[in-house]
Structure 1
């Protein structure tokens, strides 16, 4: 009776991938935004089954780099000033190094990556709906489904107030999720040769996603919309798209940037909504923020801490302990993943992880992913967007975004091992 539905889950399974693992992998990513518990259980099964590969993990030099990073992180825990928190913090990294290898069989082909991307888009619908509900209809949780297996904590009016957060604890984190899903929603809308009537669901989701991103009031997420658009659309359309984007962004820049002559800024601000330019130049916070609450202060203190202990770092979560002692204000992390990595685990570990991520992006680009099928272009764009977001925030500390991020990196590695023929569409 359920065979047709199960048969749909079996579609596009890469050769050599476990049938059960492939089903669990898809369902896990579908449920990821809604329930980290259910998704984690399904993805763990997929990971265990995905480890039965032809080649052992140590034959891939990328895994050798991650093994060395793991050793450095573990060694650093013995001298960490954050004590047991340093060991707990390894959970943000070591399991995902394993997943980076174990998930590759499920992402070994372009049809498989397309299918995974569509599951991520479908899984984003609850984020959009609950976010709109909390802002416009006053929805307030917690809502429980399946006897508490899924619990949605919603705050009426958003978190912070007036900003869409949906299923996430904070608007910026919701913005990061929506930003990584945006390239895939756009790809679903642009894919060919489907008629436009069949693209209607993708159109509705894409419009809802863009509206949700705008309502998060997250500058990072706004920037992600612009960054991903030309990458997904593809170089063939850049001849008209890039000038159009530039034409649209010039008034925003004139309205937002400090130091612009009033003669130019006044008409620009008349054209651009105040909610946009005021947010972009932090006008609403002018004169209200303590210096210690700014990212520049956080980065400065963190760099000083790195200089004090450059080899193995201070241990995970040390920043949240030391920063209040030195500034009088609490922050959970320094809002930059490179700085946070170096501070927590040392410069060597940070350099290797960052170099690996950039190598995956650059190598995929060199292999022609910009001219690959639209969902592979979207895959690269989504990975780049998430990497960029970590320059001024660390959304990976939400486990759901961390999982999605490593799935994206895993897909880039799978692409580099088996690049698809170049084509437009």
Structure 2
């Protein structure tokens, strides 16, 4: 995970080795887990959808964005079962974000590009001025992939910073001080990168993450301050005739013009999200059970609109149109159940010092989910992998805590029987 963002091929090979090893050693445990069978049913529905697809070749290729990650999720939730592992994993996920943003700065401000030899080794290209032009994309092939990656890194880094800060208040050692400084640098770097992606979704997610931590820590004054600042920016963006025009003189145009879409006023109707979503809805009504096949949105949209578009900017609508309503609802149910169990565990079970770190995983995956409501991130290997790893970590800790609680309960019952 430490090398995955900067060296995707090597990171993927390492994870593949882990996947194979866990499945070899824990095969019986895996197949006896009823929850895993639900994911297997989703996989079968995806296969049926691909067999019935309008463009079968595209659909079979599209399975690569899901099936290997189902297997990885099942394997990693067996390995990650203790809250202390979450802290180690968080460091592995956030440390690469620092060089990623540094490369992005060079891309935007110094027009850095990637030498052909280095590009063939690393597997990514640094495009001068970003993709699209003027928006930081760094080592990713589009700015929105960088945006969600930095939103996740920012959320986990903020959790580590707050956790370290609580320790530092009681024990001001030099190690804790240097750790705080490093985490502060990472946070500042991630925020700068998020701003330069010009991703409205990522800006909103960073704000939501900040508010979530403020609520968790019980800092009502900070919640009010951040909410007030956000309301002021929204006012300037969407209500110029109700006093917003005066606020625009204070708030940088970079923010209110991007939020109100005035930065790109002449966008074709075919590129608008509402147009894409309406097209998906029409596809769902025509084939509600098994859909049109994975990755079939692009050729279908091109045939209708005469425009190539990689995805419809909504994972839920895309899955419903491409794989059918049944498979989509079942997959959403699996993910939703894990998140609900994670939140209930955080409320009911004592985590001691690890509660904040576990909370950071819930917030980070929640951000990933919200981002996919108006975009699709599964087409980038690194972002897709990180999302499934966050979910597997949550599920692994939930099941470990539940098992431990059950064992303790049975031991307590046995002791009472013996005593009586």
Q: Which whole-Å CA distance do the structure 1 matches of 2:222 and 2:33 have between them?
A: 39
TM normalised by structure 2 equals 0.88
What is residue 5 of structure 1 aligned with on the other side?
A: none
Task: Give how far 1:369 is off.
Answer: 6.0
- Report the equivalent of 1:105: 78
Distance 1:382 1:409 in 2: 10
2:64 is matched with which residue? 91
Larger Rg: 2
**What is aligned with 2:269?**
291
Does residue 224 of structure 1 match 2:197? no
Residue 262 of structure 1, CA deviation: 2.0
Using the TM superposition, name which of 227-236 and 181-190 deviates more.
227-236
Residue among 165, 170, 173 paired with 2:145: 173
Q: Which consecutive residues of structure 1, in runs of 5 or more, have no partner in the other structure? A: 1-28
Of the three residues 54, 59, 62, the one matched with 1:81 is 54
Describe how 1:135-284 pairs up with structure 2 within 5 A: 135-142=108-115, 144=117, 148-192=120-164, 193-194=167-168, 195-233=176-214, 235-257=216-238, 260=239, 262-284=241-263
Kindly indicate whether residue 368 of structure 2 is the aligned counterpart of residue 386 of structure 1: yes
List structure 1 segments (4+ residues) > 3 angstroms apart after TM superposition.
142-145, 369-372
Q: Residues of 2 paired with 1:88 and 1:247: CA distance?
A: 47
Instruction: Indicate the residue corresponding to 1:124 in structure 2.
Output: 97
Q: Would you say the 8 A contact 2:215–2:223 is kept in 1?
A: no
Deviation (angstroms), 1:264: 1.7
Cα distance, 1:188 vs. partner? 2.4
Residues 274, 351 of structure 1: CA spacing in aligned structure 2 closer, same or farther, 3 A cutoff? Answer: same
Report whether the alignment pairs 1:43 with 2:15: yes
Which residue does 2:279 correspond to in 1? 301
| CA distance in structure 1 between the partners assigned to 2:257 and 2:390 by the alignment | 33
In structure 2, stretches of 5+ residues that fail to align are: 169-175, 405-420
Q: Do the aligned partners of 2:81 and 2:397 also contact (CA within 8 Å) in 1?
A: yes
Count of aligned positions: 389
Q: Give the structure 1 partner of residue 356 of structure 2.
A: 374
Instruction: Pick closer, same or farther for the CA change 1:261–1:167 going to 2, 3 Å.
Output: closer
- Hey, which of these two has a bigger chunk of helix by percent? 2
In structure 2, the residue matched to 1:408 is 390
Post-superposition CA distance 1:302-349 (Å, at most 9, x none): 110111111111111111111122122221111111111111111110
Answer with 295-304 or 322-331: which moved more: 322-331
| 1:143 Cα deviation after fit | 6.1
- Give the match's secondary structure for 1:314: coil
Q: Cα RMSD over matched residues?
A: 2.0
Is the CA contact (8 Å cut-off) linking 1:166 and 1:174 kept in structure 2? yes
Higher relative contact order (CA 8 A, sep 6+): 2
